[in-house]
């Protein structure tokens, strides 16, 4: 077989995600249930069908021309030639799919980069093992199945973002990293308030604002969300920003509504990022100029 005929098949696992049986096509690959036969062929020492079938793990499976590199480091390294690195591009696409899943909700999923990815070319198999190792593949714990309409929405969102050349590294997706942090178990839910509210502050304000940050943030959010802005927006933003200050100064928060308000903030973050990405696409921006995302300039706020 010639070099041009070689093909690499890659699998990116999305922890706790369960998709409908037939899956959906996303950017030339399939977001689908991981087949036990594939898992067993690539990771035979860990293949336990009973655990695997209870978990019903989901992957994005895709192919690209090339072959696996024979280097000895611990990472998967795919090479077509010396100038390109398809693995990086595939991993970037998997991350964009993850961000679309975060925006879709209703809850945040752990980051797939913390789980396991596989690649094979018919001769070799390589694995990239994240800090979760194979836990979410085999622990028998799963979420509800994502609806077909939701899955189609995710695929359409990813296609629009990729078509507009929005990279997952773009600033327009910045607040989603706070959601990913919460979902990945890196911080306690209480501490999620601070990174999320700070990320929205930087996202929508970006500089010092006269008249108080909570009020300015509320105005900017209303300008971005329009008629869909929740009625309790100003009150909740003010409470969250006050909690952010309490957390930063090491004080305890005993408010019984903390968890509910944190969930409200997560939902708000999803909507804000989606609107921001829409504005970036409309402006034909790469998503790194947040001035194009913000609906008003600071000096226009009254």
Cα→Cα distances 282→107, 230, 285, Å: 27, 24, 8
Q: What is the mean pLDDT of residues 277-282?
A: 94
Residues contacting 151, CB < 8 A, separation 6+: 19, 20, 23, 24, 31
The percent of residues in the chain predicted with pLDDT above 90, rounded, is: 38
Whole-model pTM? 0.88
Question: 222 or 8, which is more confident?
Answer: 222
CB-CB contact of 100 with 180 (8 Å): no
What is the rounded CA–CA span in Å between residue 230 and residue 221?
Answer: 10
Three-class secondary structure of residue 105 per DSSP: coil
Residue written as tokens 């990945």? 184
Q: Which of 170, 125, 150, 154 has its CA nearest to residue 280?
A: 170
Structure tokens that stand for 13 in this block: 């696992």
Q: What is the mean pLDDT of residues 238-248?
A: 82
Cα→Cα distances 8→34, 185, 194, 246, Å: 17, 32, 42, 51
Q: Where are the alpha helices (DSSP H) in the chain?
A: 36-42, 49-55, 86-104, 135-138, 148-163, 174-183, 193-204, 213-225, 233-248, 258-282
Q: What is the mean pLDDT of residues 134-162?
A: 88
What is the rounded CA–CA span in Å between residue 20 and residue 150?
Answer: 10
Look at residue 70 and tell me whether its pLDDT is greater than 70: no
Q: Which of 76, 128, 132, 138 has its CA nearest to residue 109?
A: 132
Q: Which residues does residue 63 pair with via DSSP β-bridges, in sequence order? A: 9
Q: What is the mean pLDDT of residues 262-266?
A: 89
Look at residue 110 and tell me whether its pLDDT is greater than 80: yes
CB-CB contact of 160 with 106 (8 Å): no
Q: Which residues does residue 24 pair with via DSSP β-bridges, in sequence order? A: 31
Mean residue pLDDT across the chain: 83
CB-CB contact of 218 with 201 (8 Å): no
What is the rounded CA–CA span in Å between residue 125 and residue 129?
Answer: 13
CB-CB contact of 59 with 18 (8 Å): no
What is the rounded CA–CA span in Å between residue 207 and residue 175?
Answer: 17
Q: Which residues does residue 68 pair with via DSSP β-bridges, in sequence order? A: 78
Q: What is the mean pLDDT of residues 68-84?
A: 46
Task: Quote the pLDDT of residue 7.
Answer: 78
Q: Which residues of 38-57 are buried (b: 16+ CB within 10 A; e: fewer)?
A: ebeebbeebbeeeebeebbb
């Amino acid at each position: 077989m010639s070099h041009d005929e070689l093909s690499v098949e890659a699998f990116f696992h999305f922890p706790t995600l369960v998709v409908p049986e037939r899956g959906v096509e996303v950017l030339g690959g399939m977001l689908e249930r991981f087949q036990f036969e594939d898992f067993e062929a690539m990771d035979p020492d860990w293949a336990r069908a009973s655990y695997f079938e209870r978990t019903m793990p989901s992957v994005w499976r895709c192919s690209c021309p090339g072959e696996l590199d024979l280097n000895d480091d611990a990472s998967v390294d795919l090479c077509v030639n010396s100038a390109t690195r398809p693995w990086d591009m595939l991993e970037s696409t998997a991350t964009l799919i993850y961000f679309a899943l975060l925006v879709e909700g209703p809850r945040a999923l752990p980051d797939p980069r913390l789980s396991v990815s596989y690649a094979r070319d018919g001769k070799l198999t390589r694995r990239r093992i994240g800090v979760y190792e194979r836990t979410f593949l085999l622990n028998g714990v799963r979420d509800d199945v994502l609806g077909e309409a939701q899955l189609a929405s995710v695929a359409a969102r990813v296609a629009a973002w990729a078509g507009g050349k929005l990279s997952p590294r773009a600033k327009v997706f910045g607040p989603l990293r706070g959601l990913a942090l919460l979902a990945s178990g890196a911080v306690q839910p209480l501490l999620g308030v601070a990174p999320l509210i700070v990320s929205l502050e930087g996202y929508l304000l970006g500089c010092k604002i006269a008249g108080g940050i909570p009020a300015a943030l509320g105005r900017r959010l209303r300008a971005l969300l329009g008629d869909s802005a929740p009625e309790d927006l100003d009150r909740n933003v003010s409470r969250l920003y006050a909690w952010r200050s309490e957390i930063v100064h090491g004080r305890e928060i005993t408010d019984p509504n903390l968890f509910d308000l944190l969930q409200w903030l997560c939902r708000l973050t999803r909507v804000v990022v989606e609107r921001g990405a829409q504005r970036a696409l409309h402006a034909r921006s790469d998503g790194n100029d947040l001035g194009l995302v913000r609906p008003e300039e600071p000096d226009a706020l009254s």
